[in-house]
Amino acid sequence: MQLTVWTYEGPPHVGAMRVATAMEGVHYVLHAPQGDTYADLLFTMIERRDRRPPVTYTTFQARDLGGDTAELFKTAARDAYRRFKPEAMIVGASCTAELIQDDPGGLARALHLPIPVIPLDLPSYQRKENWGASETFYQLARALAGASAPAPGTARPERAEGVKPSCNLLGPTALGFRHRDDVREVTALLAALGIEVKVVAPLGARPKDLARLGEADFNVVLYPETGLQAAEWLKRTFRQPLVKTSPIGVIGVRAFIEEAALIAGVDPGPTLKALAARSPWYSRSVDSTYLTGKRVFIFGDATHVVAAAQVARDELGFTVAGMGTYSREFARDVRVAAATHNIEALITEDYLEVEAEIAKLNPDLVLGTQMERHIAKRLRLPCAVISAPVHVQDFPARYSPQMGFEGANVIFDSWVHPLMMGLEEHLLSMFREDFEFSAAAAPSHLGAHSGNEPAASGIDAAKTEETHSSQASAAAPAVWAIDAEKELGKIPFFVRGRARRNAERFAADRGIATITMETLYDAKSHYSR
Amino acid sequence: MNAQTPLASPIATASAPAAEQNILRERGQREVFCGLTGIVWLHRKIQDAFFLVVGSRTCAHLIQSAAGVMVFAEPRFATAIIDERDLAGLADANDELDRVVAKLIERRPDIRLLFLVGSCPSEVIKLDLSRAAARLSKVFSPGLRVLNYSGSGIETTFTQGEDACLASLVPELPAEAPGAAPSLLIAGALADVVEDQFTRLFAAMSIAPVRFLPARNSQDLPPVGPNTRLLLAQPFLAETARALENRGARRISAPFPLGAEGTTAWLQAAADQFDVDEETFDAATAAGRERAGRVLERHRPSLAGKSIFFFPDSQLEAPLARFLSRELSMRIVEVGAPYLHRQHLAAELSLLPAGTMLSEGQDVDRQLDRCRAAKPDLTVCGLGLANPLEAEGLRTKWSIELLFTPIQGYEQAGDLAELFARPLDRQNRLKA
């Protein structure tokens, strides 16, 4: 058993839902107890989908357990077929149904539905959401495209004269971080190269589209977490090469263009010349000089973390102080990337470990998931979101890819913005002795109200309460002398938290009971790098 | 039917047979939360309690999804996720649970009451949490009490999780002193602000002592015995009421305190038990009634005559439908409830318009068909259905908000009406 407050990933059947919901004409019949329908709201609320996910749950209850849950499953599958008339069906069990050992695959086969019915075996007590999505997509691709597979060992026929090179985009799903816009951006990149996108899958694909996955010349794996397994099967079966380079960041996009062009046999030159991002110039403009060497901590899924680390170091001039992932399946990639930054990767699913690491490293910027956003908030550090899991605000209405050149622009803005805010605040606090910016006035455009603490909601109040109590239980901290406290107030707010912690740590280490102005500056020199 | 019965004595009408109502019983896919969700508000209420779900990653994910931003505030709930090794043999699972609890208590020494909350997986593998609770209680006594209940989807629907939790507390309640004066026990978690308002109202009527279950602190549990009069503040407390009645408490039948009328009738039912004279009752409630009446009057124009459809969710549906039909003149199309407790809802059902369509249980696709056919002006449903129905052109009010927002009592009657008025107001404002 594992004590868990927050999970980076849901159970594997949620991954299967992400694939089913991404597609058209597929229905998922899930053997699951009452209550598992909660997962619907991830799609209808977080991603704001305008339709219910195409999932029928058997919703068995205790009174059904003595009876025939298998019959319940059959009824649900039969009714779902009649009502939704899907072109293909996937069937499987959630964690509880896995324990009662009905066999959804066998039961569904016995119904002799006139459509492909694909059984899923998703071990809920070992695996998680991304694995579930990957496995589901692989099983669907195998079942639907497998029929048109050439005999093993057959070489791929040459592309006919005058036919455009083509590829599939694999991996985008429902509930994917920026998948919608990444697909559009990468499709445009490939179009500029003269490469046609045959099938995007699972997002937006129908079963008949999956059936023709083998037709394209090669595959582009946008998200290895969800698409690599299927792509590798396609490579074995249809001899389709894969492009695995992630087109995130300007360097990544250029490498991606060259790799795709090489496989497609086209010239990348004109595209590389014609398309560009604004971010390299922004990064060179003198305004960005203050970004130099800012220490950044990066956490998320493997793909986004590895790409972000490269962008941070080579495109923004940051120093990567720490990086890690919750995706154990791709831990190796992150370890390898971390080594190029001379750091050791943190591989964990426990956000408390991530929090401890961030607190220890005390970076200038945190790039992570929704959880790191909250950790950063608690530690008063600037933060930007680079990876799922994310909340509703990271499924934006506006166009905001992470991939391609526009993605590089989006990344520049969204990472620099929280730091830029810091500079603004700094300037404001430099004038804090002016009457408009008196020490009591919070930096705000709402002049009249700025003296008041924002009204604490119940949740915030609870949080403060918890923080206080946890502090109270620690050893008695040093007291701040009035002059030192005043001096601390003159330090820009975005480094003030660190200055306070450093001084307190310094005092604690040396058994200093009162922090004076001397202590404050002693600590500053002690910890300065 | 008794829809027009005078307000002063709703209890007199409480015997109206529910069978007279048109009740549709359905089974099929249920688009509802399981009882684990109750933890999200219960842990806020009982300030020194911790809720440890023994379940799967799905359970952790569910609570995380339901708790939203609260998860980031070091809440007092967590999940012990069962993994492969635990499934191999039960003895091992018990050791594992002890280890997890020890680790938890070490991290949170401020916890005085620990609930081991059963889930579907823990029940299917027949992990005996009541024995585990007894064992752990002994280990951590006297600083920590360990109780258990089931919040699993196979046993409980949404708010029934609160019922199961409170019912597990009942054996822990101290016995009332022999010959104690009659006391009033109010069961059902209410927002602190609502609880305080009710406390003041009962004090103004000189009803004392008044106690609440759950109490805000586990060291402060209310006593119970034959002189306890039990007033339910929530309609979903079947097991809790039964357990309290088994310990001698006598339930006061009343409608639930939603809206001005509901609140008055609820208070009146208690007042009658404690022989509060009419003058005192009026003096205590007049200001609140007047304020609630005034603010409801403001919302009536936007809601009167509008039709409303309830999908099953919390068991609050029938009292809400009563409030909306009688105090705001809405038209009730269908009142869906996961479970209709005939006795506890007797006073409510008798106040619903004659022939109101009630449904118990759910077959969600069929219910959606009925809803689409009826084209109600407003549909009360869960978050999984709300946006899809909006996209189909129906206005919706998502139901879970009705559990997290203070809605009971006079001072909240207007807020409650506004929750239903706002989606319709929004529809009128949006032109694009």
- Residue B93 sits at the vertex; the CA angle it makes with B91 and B96, to the nearest 5 degrees, is 115
Among residues A402, A417, A432, which one ends one of the domains?
A417
Residue range A284-291: average pLDDT? Answer: 90
Reported ipTM: 0.92
* Residue A141 pLDDT > 50: yes
- Do the Cβ atoms of A1 and B99 come within 8 Å? yes
Residue range B291-305: average pLDDT? Answer: 96
B385 touches chain A (CB under 8 A): yes
Looking at A367-371, A494-498, B371-375, which range is the least confident one?
Answer: A494-498
Q: Is residue A445 part of a domain?
A: no
B56 touches chain A (CB under 8 A): yes
pLDDT tens profile B228-284? 999 999 999 999 999 999 999 999 999 999 999 999 999 999 999 999 999 999 999
Query: What pLDDT sits at residue A86?
Result: 98
pLDDT tens profile A23-64? 999 999 999 999 999 999 999 999 999 999 999 999 999 989
Among residues A417, A444, A466, which one ends one of the domains?
A417
pLDDT tens profile B333-377? 999 999 999 999 999 999 999 989 999 999 999 999 999 999 999
B66 touches chain A (CB under 8 A): yes
Query: What pLDDT sits at residue A461?
Result: 38
Helix runs in B147-207, H state only = 160-169, 192-204
Percent of chain B residues past pLDDT 70, beyond the cut: 95
Percent of chain A residues past pLDDT 90, beyond the cut: 75
**Residue among A187, A178, A180, A170 at smallest CA distance from A225:** A170
* Residue A335 pLDDT > 70: yes
Q: Is residue B23 part of a domain?
A: no
Measure the CA–CA gap between A333 and A305, rounded to whole angstroms: 10
pLDDT tens profile A420-476? 766 666 666 565 554 444 455 454 444 443 333 333 333 343 333 333 333 434 456
- Do the Cβ atoms of A41 and B382 come within 8 Å? yes
- Do the Cβ atoms of A99 and B97 come within 8 Å? no
Q: How many domains are there within chain A?
A: 4
The annotation status of A394 as a binding-site residue, yes or no, is no
More confident of the two residues A427 and A100: A100
| A36 CA: distance to closest CA in chain B (Å) | 7
Among residues B156, B171, B196, which one ends one of the domains?
B156
Q: State which residues form the domain around A57.
A: 12-129
B63 touches chain A (CB under 8 A): no
- Do the Cβ atoms of A374 and B65 come within 8 Å? no
Residues B253 and B301 in one domain: no
Residues B308 and B268 in one domain: no
Among residues B256, B278, B300, which one ends one of the domains?
B278
Average pLDDT value over all residues in chain A:
89
pLDDT bucket at A10, cuts 50 / 70 / 90: very high
Cβ–Cβ pairs < 8 A, chains A and B = 195
Cross-chain CB nearest to B29 (options A10, A59, A64): A59
pLDDT tens profile A205-243? 999 999 999 999 999 999 999 999 999 999 999 999 999
| pTM for the model | 0.89
Residues A235 and A288 in one domain: no
Residues A287 and A265 in one domain: no
Contacts of B92 (CB under 8 A, 6+ apart): B85, B86
pLDDT bucket at A68, cuts 50 / 70 / 90: confident
Cross-chain CB nearest to B383 (options A44, A56, A59): A44
Q: How many domains are there within chain B?
A: 3
Looking at A9-13, A182-186, A214-218, A447-451, which range is the least confident one?
Answer: A447-451
- Do the Cβ atoms of B78 and A4 come within 8 Å? yes
Query: What pLDDT sits at residue A156?
Result: 85
B106 touches chain A (CB under 8 A): no
Cross-chain CB nearest to B387 (options A10, A11, A50): A50
User: Can you give the CATH number for the domain in which B392 is found?
Assistant: 3.40.50.1980
Q: Is residue A471 part of a domain?
A: no
Residues A320 and A385 in one domain: yes
Residues A342 and A272 in one domain: no
Residues B210 and B248 in one domain: yes
Residues B291 and B401 in one domain: yes
Look up residue A515 and give its two tokens: 């922090």
Measure the CA–CA gap between B255 and B239, rounded to whole angstroms: 18
Residues A266 and A288 in one domain: no
B391 touches chain A (CB under 8 A): yes
Measure the CA–CA gap between A6 and A372, rounded to whole angstroms: 12
Q: Is residue B164 part of a domain?
A: no
Report helix, strand or coil for A160. Answer: coil
| A254 CA: distance to closest CA in chain B (Å) | 38
Residues A292 and A407 in one domain: yes
- Do the Cβ atoms of B77 and A125 come within 8 Å? no
Q: State which residues form the domain around B349.
A: 287-431
Residues B321 and B427 in one domain: yes
The annotation status of A36 as a binding-site residue, yes or no, is yes
Look up residue A378 and give its two tokens: 């608690």
- Residue A102 annotated to the active site: no
- Do the Cβ atoms of A10 and B61 come within 8 Å? yes
Residues B333 and B403 in one domain: yes
Q: Is residue A112 part of a domain?
A: yes
Host H or E run for residue B318? helix B317-328
Q: Is residue B403 part of a domain?
A: yes
Residues A491 and A364 in one domain: no
* Residue A106 pLDDT > 80: yes
Within the 113-172 window of chain B, which residues sit less than 8 Å (CB to CB) from chain A? 120-121, 123-125, 152-155, 157
The annotation status of B371 as a binding-site residue, yes or no, is no
- Do the Cβ atoms of B57 and A10 come within 8 Å? yes
pLDDT bucket at A157, cuts 50 / 70 / 90: confident
Torsion of CA B409, B415, B419, B423, to 10 degrees: 160
| B340 CA: distance to closest CA in chain A (Å) | 17
Query: What pLDDT sits at residue B6?
Result: 39
Measure the CA–CA gap between B95 and B83, rounded to whole angstroms: 13
Query: What pLDDT sits at residue A467?
Result: 38
Helix runs in A212-249, H state only = 224-238
Look up residue B406 and give its two tokens: 């203070």
* Residue B5 pLDDT > 60: no
Residues B226 and B291 in one domain: no
pLDDT tens profile B378-416? 999 999 999 999 999 999 999 999 998 999 999 999 999
The one catalytic residue in A287, A460, A483, A509 is A287
Q: Is residue A159 part of a domain?
A: no
Query: What pLDDT sits at residue B15?
Result: 40
User: Can you give the CATH number for the domain in which A235 is found?
Assistant: 3.40.50.1980
Q: Buried b vs exposed e over A447-463: b needs ≥16 C-beta within 10 Å? A: eeeeeeeeeeeebeebb
Query: Which residues of chain A does B64 touch, with a Cβ-Cβ cutoff of 8 Å?
Result: 6-7
Average pLDDT value over all residues in chain B:
93
B103 touches chain A (CB under 8 A): yes
Measure the CA–CA gap between A245 and A262, rounded to whole angstroms: 13
Cross-chain CB nearest to A11 (options B61, B75, B77): B61
- Do the Cβ atoms of A7 and B64 come within 8 Å? yes
